[in-house]
Amino acid sequence: MEERVKTGIPGLDEILEGGLPKGTNVLISGGTGTGKTIFCSQFLYKGIEDYNQNGIFVTLEERAEDLRKEMLRFGWDFKKYENENKLAIIDGTSTKLRKRAVKEKYSLVGLDIDALIIEINRVCREINAERVVIDSIPSLGIKLENEKELRRSVYRLSTLLLEIGVTSFMTTETLGDGFSRYGIEEFVSRGVIKLDIIEKGDKFVRTIYIRKMRETRFSMERYPFDIEHDGIRIYTRGEVF
């Protein structure tokens, strides 16, 4: 079989025939607070720590400094890997304030898709990245009115990631049913992973399932997962946490 990329998320690789197809592009879809950002961060951090694959985190929703602080709670020291040029955080949040994130080494001046593509490409070469995360697609602020333009932009972004050859995650938010904000992101990505918080009896549980993964025979079950002190763990064997 072709090369698989280990996700670094306990339980996930075993329901994906050992990992993700190398160089694929996966949409991480879920409502607010379902764990999308943590999921993607773990994929990048463990990629460096356990598999020696450098990574880029494009943060468009929360500032790089907030992301670092949150991830330190899981013992993931982003700063350390940034200093070692193994991890780059591209901060695109301050563009909404119409200024550059002056404290950051990598930041975006505008949220133009072309500029973003150029920057990802450049930083990929600079640190030799093999994993990329874009959090999130809706934060790119692509105009909803123009569906054709929107589809084209998201398509170009995901195709560039495939072209560079990195294994990538893009997040999107769902409102109610469906897999994405715009109803098109799932069609341009090669895989879709859905995170949910569902009601079970008198409490809520976090669940995960694979909706699509090209080149992969995956399990069709919905699995519970938990966010623990050291990150996300998926319970694939009927364990109750």
Ligand X SMILES: Nc1ncnc2c1ncn2[C@@H]1O[C@H](COP(=O)(O)OP(=O)(O)OP(=O)(O)O)[C@@H](O)[C@H]1O
Binding site for Mg ion (CB under 5 A): 36-37
CB atoms within 10 A of CB 172: 26
> In the bound complex, what is the minimum distance in angstroms from residue 31's beta carbon to ligand X?
7
CB of 214 to ligand X, least distance (A): 24
Minimal distance in Å, beta carbon 227 to Mg ion? 13
Size of the site for ligand X (CB under 6 A): 12
CB 194, CB 161: distance < 8 Å:
no
Interactions with ligand X, residue window 64-83 (CB under 6 A): 73
* 2-61 positions binding ligand X, by CB under 6 A: 30, 32-38, 61
Shortest-Cβ-distance residue relative to Mg ion:
37
Cβ-contact 60, 94 below 8 angstroms: no
Q: Which is nearer to ligand X, 7 or 216 (CB)?
A: 7
Nearest residue (CB) to Mg ion, 37 versus 94: 37
- Buried (b) or exposed (e) across 174-198, using 16+ Cβ within 10 A? beeeebbbbebbbebbbbbbbbbee
- Encode 1-32: b = buried (16+ Cβ within 10 Å), e = exposed: eeebbbbbbbbbbebbbebbbebbbbbbbbee
Nearer to ligand X, 32 or 52 (CB): 32
Q: How far is the CB of 168 from ligand X (least distance, A)?
A: 17
